[in-house]
Amino acid sequence: MSAQPVNPNLPPDHVTVFIDGVELAAPKGSMIIHAADKAGIPIPRFCYHDKLAVAANCRMCLVDTEVGGRSAPKPSPACATPVMDGLKVFTRNEKALKAQRNVMEFLLINHPLDCPICDQGGECELQDVSLGYGRSVSRYVERKRVVPDEDIGPLVATEMTRCIQCTRCVRFTAEIAGTYELGGMYRGENLQIGTYDGKPLTTELSGNVVDVCPVGALTNKVFQFRARPWELVAKESLGYHDAMGSNLYLHVRRGEVLRTVPRDNEAVNECWLSDRDRYSHQGLYAADRATVPMRKVDGQWREVSWTEALAAAGEILRAHQGDALGVLAHPATSNEEGGLLAVLAGELGSGNLDHRIGNRDFSDAAVAEPFALPLAEIEQADVVVLVGTHVRHELPLLHARLRQAQVKRNARIHALNPVDFDFAFSLAGKQIVPPSRLAEALGDAALRDAAKAATRAVVIVGAIAENHPQAATIRAAARDFAAATGASLCRIPQGANAVGLARAGVLPAARDVAAMFAQPRSAYVLYGIEPGLDFADTAAALKALNGAQVVAFSHFACESTRAVADVILPIGALPEVEATLTNLDGVEQPARAGGKLPGQAREGWRVLRALGGELDLPGFEFTDLAGARALLEGGRKVLVKAGQAGNAEGAGLAGAGLELALVPAIYRTDAVVRRAPALQAHPLNREARLVLNPADAAAAGLADGTVAKVKGAHGTATLPVAMDAGVAAGVAWIEGGHGATAPLGAGRVEVVKA
């Protein structure tokens, strides 16, 4: 006969436990530490992390337990002891405290006394716990163990003598990143944590091992020896290098952003952060940062006052109003700046306004849309179809969620791609085809049947598809697939704030970006754009811009901006301004100003207000950001006209040669990331190269490591060749964001030996 529950009024999946005399209801199968944390009862720990599997190897969470009046013979680890009805737990009685103090003494036996020079000092879990549970003196007089360090890359610094073998880092790389790069070597007192092969970490999430490390064994190499935690001020901000909008803190000292750490948000990035968002702040301090207004006079650049720069910009815009003016914004531009830019364009009578600078096909007038299934719920999907995306590089934390969907729910993931990309999850099916055949691949009967049979199916369409010359066809096929199977359609927005800018009306009422370059305007406004690398068709863009007068609102006074602009107005990047961005769930998120604006640079909204005032435009009388937001309330509704691009002939997809598969490079996505030295030194940041299927390379007389000339419709690139059997036959794979590959555009290319 079963025992009666202590509290019969509880739900059937809960039990009653008593922790330090407090009666609690806890789910069956959960651990003591879960119930204690929920009740706010502190239990010390090192190896336990609520996002990682239980290891129970540090033993710091030992507690005394009692069931039915009988005390357990030994203390139990709270992280690995499941609750049961009527269980009594004592976290601070003599037995528990003695066990915890003994464990702490054991952990400190070999730990070095180097707190004064440790970067973790001041925010070290070992320091905090030892203060409460450590002894005032050490009984250990023998020589301490020393462990040699290894170089695991440009992002994470190691001091493995400090390691207490909690294995959090090992479990993170295995369970969340899925790369299995760290592990325990040797045994007993010789146990060490390392990479086995001595190579750098290659995961795109490597900085998270710094966050999970409870001691100073793994620290931020970029931040190393720069400051102490108590010198830093934390400012709430956002990741602005992809559409996820990861929540983060900027750690600032005297106006300089020294470090970026994750800010918990279960609906977005949980407690993780991609390396791209974590280390990109280095790029803010590049040598070519725009810090003073500049004007080109007689072909020479000179620094000028804001008054002169705004007057020169106003003169250009007065002379080229209406249809003569084209206005282009980077898709990471904030809602406030984008909205004011739209108002400026409207007051100047120009319908030539766009932010979709990476797109090539406008024939369906497509704009960025929020995901049909919230990001947090994608982890609950049981069938996922990836279409034209290297999701691991495009949205690293979405890739991590997909891995969790497979690990926890046995999700079946299918990929339709031009390259058999290296994912951290296994594929239930894949079709490796040229990009122009992605729409055809979505018609596969077996794939449709798999999605129809699913409880929750998701179709994720990425950059390779969205930025393809036949993107409209692929989008239509994806919509048809979703409608036929009941799957949720999630198109990855091409830009950190593409959804917000679409809502704000930063869209054409007349010409889109492709039409503005095919039919060049006499003047352009560029906002936050690096013209030599950010446009889909670099050759057409530079040709049009070189023949026009250009006002550039810019973060960097780079070579390509200097080449095309007549006036450069320096503006702050997102970590330096207060703004809002709208993420791929359609959620508007705020960011606070963190870093100090460099030199004479100003917030973009202030410069737009001043320029509107220079031009005597109505509505630009506001004096603060609240006034700007009031002006923009309700947004600007625009009926986007369909463009003419998109047919196969016009896009250069017909005829001989190899079809180009242009994939965004993970650390070449925007101007700030391209200027972050640590990210540029990362193993994932490869040099510009051409990757071919071995059969195609052999047909062209090319071998691995040779140099080839790649001739496209708009230019020629000379690139080293790599061979990969994972590339679809008939496809030439290159990564974007490189100056060497920028001239190629899209379509078909001819590959010959250089």
Looking at the fold, whether 510 and 621 belong to one and the same domain comes out as yes
Is the pLDDT at 656 greater than 80, yes or no? no
Looking at the fold, whether 623 and 503 belong to one and the same domain comes out as yes
Residue range 255-280: mean pLDDT, rounded:
97
Predicted local confidence at residue 236, as pLDDT: 97
Provide the domain limits for residue 485.
Answer: 375-491
Is the pLDDT at 398 greater than 70, yes or no? yes
CATH number of the domain within which 179 lies: 3.30.70.20
Q: Which of 260, 282, 304 is the last residue of a domain?
A: 282
Q: Is residue 209 part of a domain?
A: yes
Is the pLDDT at 2 greater than 80, yes or no? no
Looking at the fold, whether 595 and 483 belong to one and the same domain comes out as no
Residue range 109-115: mean pLDDT, rounded:
91
Residue range 259-283: mean pLDDT, rounded:
97
pLDDT band with cut points at 50, 70 and 90 for residue 645 = low
Averaged pLDDT of the chain: 93
Looking at the fold, whether 525 and 571 belong to one and the same domain comes out as yes
Looking at the fold, whether 506 and 558 belong to one and the same domain comes out as yes
Predicted local confidence at residue 654, as pLDDT: 66
Q: Are 344 and 611 in contact (CB under 8 A)?
A: yes
Percent of residues, the chain, with pLDDT higher than 70: 97
Long-range contacts of 573-577 (CB under 8 A, 24+ apart): 573/284, 573/672, 574/237, 574/238, 574/240, 574/332, 574/334, 575/237, 575/250, 575/257, 575/281, 575/284, 576/284, 576/601, 576/603, 577/334, 577/603, 577/604, 577/605
Beta bridge partners of 17: 24, 87
- List the alpha helices (DSSP H) in 633-682: 671-674, 677-680
Identify the residue with better confidence: 655 or 144: 144
Looking at the fold, whether 233 and 305 belong to one and the same domain comes out as no
- Number of domains comprising the chain: 5
Predicted local confidence at residue 642, as pLDDT: 77
Q: Is residue 651 part of a domain?
A: no
Is the pLDDT at 503 greater than 60, yes or no? yes
Q: Is residue 114 part of a domain?
A: no
Is the pLDDT at 321 greater than 80, yes or no? yes
Predicted local confidence at residue 506, as pLDDT: 96
pLDDT band with cut points at 50, 70 and 90 for residue 315 = very high
CATH number of the domain within which 62 lies: 3.10.20.740
pLDDT band with cut points at 50, 70 and 90 for residue 714 = confident
Q: Is residue 652 part of a domain?
A: no
Residue range 107-122: mean pLDDT, rounded:
91
Looking at the fold, whether 409 and 346 belong to one and the same domain comes out as no
Looking at the fold, whether 347 and 261 belong to one and the same domain comes out as no
Predicted local confidence at residue 648, as pLDDT: 43
Q: Is residue 690 part of a domain?
A: yes
- Write down how long the chain is: 754
pLDDT band with cut points at 50, 70 and 90 for residue 625 = very high
Q: Which of 473, 491, 509 is the last residue of a domain?
A: 491
Q: Where are the beta strands (DSSP E) in 515-657?
A: 523-527, 549-554, 567-570, 579-582, 588-591
Q: Which of 464, 491, 518 is the last residue of a domain?
A: 491
Residues 339-374 pLDDT 10s: 999 999 999 999 999 999 999 999 999 999 999 999
Is the pLDDT at 435 greater than 70, yes or no? yes
Cα dihedral angle (356, 501, 281, 664), rounded to 10 degrees? -30
Q: Is residue 122 part of a domain?
A: no
Residues 184-207 pLDDT 10s: 999 888 899 999 888 999 999 999
Looking at the fold, whether 615 and 668 belong to one and the same domain comes out as no
Q: Is the pTM higher than 0.85? A: yes
